[in-house]
Every structure is written in C-alpha cells, then in structure tokens.
Chain A
C-alpha cells in the first residue's frame, strides 16, 4: 500500500496532494481508522433529539451509531449493534422510542443502552451479567452549541480543546440567532455522488470557483435585478479565507458576496438587526451580519442556511446531508425567507449546488488520468499571512483552508499507530 507520508507535499512555495488520496481503496480504509476512528466527528444535533425517547441513526465513518435522548435527558451515542449476534437494533432513521428490541432474538435495550431483557433467559446461567451486555457507548461524546460530536478513541484532547481555535466562528454561526440557538428542520436535502468524500471537503471552503461554476446562478440573480455579473465578480474579490488548526478552515465574507446566500445585512431586516443589537451589542451585531462558510474537520460544514455533513461510503461514493436551519427567536417570516433562499441555491434541484457536485464528478473522472500525479493546492502561498492567533490568512480565492485540511489529514494518517481501540465483549 502507498505510504500516506508520500501523498502530501507541503513546502514554502509548493503544496500538492497526490491522486491516490482520492482513488486508493486502502487509503480510504486507513482514513476510516486514523481519521474517522480517532478524531472528534459530528454525528447529530441536539435539536434532532427534542425529548426523552427521541432517537436518530447516524454514522462515524462507516460505523453505524444510534443517538438517543435518555429518560434523564442526557444524550447517548451508542453503537447500533446487538450484543448477542450483531444485528442492528434500530432500522428507522429517526423517531421516538421507549426501548429498542432486536428483531433477531428479541433482546430489549433501554434508550440509554442498558440491556433490559433477554428473551427466554433460562438459556443463560443465573450469574450472567446483563449489565455487561448493554449497547456499547462510543468512547467519548460531547456537545457544543447543539452540535453533537463523538470520538471512537478513548484518549486525546477534549472537545473543548479541539474546538479552541474554531470556537469563535462556531459562535458566530450560532449567534445569528438572537437567543443563541439553532434548530434543524426535520427534513433535509441529501445528495450523493460517485466520488471521494474529500472532493466535498475541498469545495465547501473554496472561494475561487464561484465566478465560474456558479456563473449560471449569478445570471439568474442578474436577470432578477438583484446584482449584475460584474458587481458580483468585484464583490467576490473581497473577503478572506482562513486556514485554522485541526484541519478547520473558512471563507470569511464580512460584507457579503457569498453566492446564493441570505443577505443578513439587507436594510429591510431592521427588526432582526435590532434583535441582534439588543442581544449582543452593536459591534457584535454588525459582525454577525457577515457570511462565513465554516469547515470543522473532517465532516462538518456550518453554512448560514444549513448544517452540512459529509458521509463517506466508499473510496468513490459519498453522501452529503444538508440540514436547513431555523434561527430560534426570529420571526417566522425571516426563517421562511431564509429557507426559500436556501432552496434556490442548495439541494439537488437548486440553481447552485448541483453545479458544485458536477465538479466533484468532473474531478473524479479527470483523476483517472495517471500521467499527472498531483493536485495543486498552492494558490496564495506567496501572499499568505499569519494572524496573531496562528491562522493562515489569504485572499478569498486562495487555498489556505485546503492546505490546513491536508496538513491535519497528513498528521493523522502518518501518526504512530495508536493502540488498538478498547473493545468491549
């Protein structure tokens, strides 16, 4: 198998990623172990578990997990696997339950995973320890601003430490609600593509492609009298990209210009601006009217209109969930307007996102040509600056976020082989 250390070139004036990172099935398996198997991974949202008994199924990499809100209100992240002979215990995607019964031999588990009942228990000795055979909890879980993260590794930094450098941008996202709370809609947009998960990772915080890929969307807005193509291209030269620690990154447009996104600075939103001022003060209220596309490595994007989750399926198969968000505390009209704006651009029938996905399959197709080995990610290296906080800051079309992602990717893929996960039963 290819040594992952050979797959990223990270030098002063050159940054490249090798084709094999996107095409080699062994690399995918290693990513499931070393990235999805080690780091904090987004698995779901508190608003998806509104009351005791709420559940939804999710995944960490390709491992099926079951999120529940227990009777005591705490959140559980459980492996969706019966302790008897390995069947999933929940086949629904979301819902409400008082318990989970395995369909195969009838074992019953509480919502906190505890084994409640073995069918026909005379088949086990009296001293069989039921307490040792509940649904297994993932080693660690923690939440921040309603975002539920889980880790398959029992050791490593806390979520709080992991999020230290990106926290302020997560807060900017959540504080668009004057009460600081974001609720996901029950439904979602989902799209799939026959390509690698990292093609989505590379694109969400790419500020370079909009003038080209989204030309058709800009023409639509131009026709509607909203903005001219020239104004749009000029506006898109403003703003920044930022590459953070831990593989995180963002496109930062304090004054707008993000294709297809809701304009929080629109003067007609006076009531909303007043709410922000009252909640956070005038300075912060101004900051909160900007637009950021934020990536939290390895699988989470926070966009102003939605939470986007990458679900890797295989080396060349990926599913992406887009969960539109409602800002708690604002008018229904504002949230509906945000939803209409989201639908115009995003989703498989939107006027923008399908063109991004077309680029993913274009790249997946082009990478089959092996006469070229490397993908070039050096844009902006010559003009990059470093902020006091250690962020790599670039012009909005530069590739600082992609470099941050692949530095973290490389670090994890080449880390000393971690001790085998603590396995239970």
Chain B
C-alpha cells in the first residue's frame, strides 16, 4: 500500500514543528502529536524497558515536560535556552511502520542559555546533532505518533538538556 505523504509535505510538517519549538509555542507543538504518542531519545540501542533513555515520554509525560517549562520555576531553564532547530536530509520511506508513514531527517540543533555570559553555563553556543525518525498517521491532518531522536553523542556527557530537543 503506498502512502500519500510527499517529501514536501513531510518537510513542511518538520519545519513547522521546529518553528513551534523555537518560538516556544509548546501547546501547539503538543497538538502535533497523537494521544498515544511516544517521544524517545535513547542512550543506546537497547530495550527502553531495561536500558536508560534520556527521554522516553508518553503523551502524559510530554505534557509534564511542557508544564514544567512553562508553568514552574525550573532553574535549569532560568535563564532559558534559545534554540534553533535545523532540519535537513528529509526522506519519506516507502515502507509503512505499524501502519504509519516513516519519515527520516537530520536535526542540527543550536542552543544557547541566555543570561550573564560571564557566568558558568551561560552564553555558550553548542550544537546537538541527531538522526530522527518520525512515524506519522491520520492523513491528511498528519499527526506524530512517534518521534525518535538518535543523538550522535547519546551516550556521552551532556550539560543540561532541559529544553525540548
């Protein structure tokens, strides 16, 4: 069975997700996901039920993540991060996965903490790179059923990943 998502459509969706995150429009970002979604950033190739993940969120935990950023005093985001999500290498694969369209892309995320740049941990621009897999459902109003980011440095030391990747 062929699917009806073009590469241009996939890019538009991913670019929109990136813009919503960079503009901190988190509720609209959440609305891009299904209720049974999974947002997964592993540390290795293991089974997420017995190997640690940086992020292994169901919809409920994603909402907690947004709530913490928007409604509480989370010091690791005070001052907050500026982000720029750069999307490239978008491919829509032929094979469906679990009835969903399989979209691959690269993410180059540039991030910087605001605040007094003379202080430790602030003002340093850093890059995070990831290979992404999205599973999309519900044409033509495509929604994200699964977002998986394989960070190139997934198993290495990170200082503060408390913004949304």
Contact = CB atoms under 8 A, between A and B. Distances in A.
Interface string A318-335: 011010101000001001
A378 interface: no
A359 B75 contact: yes
Given A188-B43, A224-B64, A361 B73 contact: no
Contacts of B140: none
A358 interface: yes
Contacts, number: 127
A365 B119 contact: yes
A357 B160 contact: yes
Interface string B44-86: 1010011111111000110011011001111110100000000
A351 B56 contact: no
Contacts of A336: 49-50
B155 interface: yes
Contacts of B64: 220, 223-224, 344, 351
Contacts of B162: 348-349, 354-355
A230 interface: no
Nearest to B41: A349
Residue among B60, B64, B65, B71 with most chain A CB within 10 A: B64
Instruction: Identify whether the interface residues of B are mostly helix, strand, loop, or mixed.
Output: loop
Interface string B22-59: 00000000000000000001111010011111111000
B101 to A, nearest CB: 27
Interface residues of B, number: 38
Given A343-B53, A354-B76, A355-B75, A187 B43 contact: yes
Given A188-B43, A355-B75, A348 B161 contact: yes
A344 B49 contact: no
A361 B61 contact: no
26 contacts: A185-B52, A187-B44, A190-B158, A193-B120, A215-B72, A215-B73, A216-B75, A219-B71, A220-B68, A223-B64, A319-B157, A322-B52, A326-B50, A332-B49, A332-B50, A335-B50, A340-B56, A343-B56, A344-B61, A349-B162, A354-B160, A355-B75, A358-B121, A358-B160, A361-B121, A365-B119
Given A191-B160, A213-B75, 4 more contacts: A187-B44, A223-B67, A358-B76, A358-B160
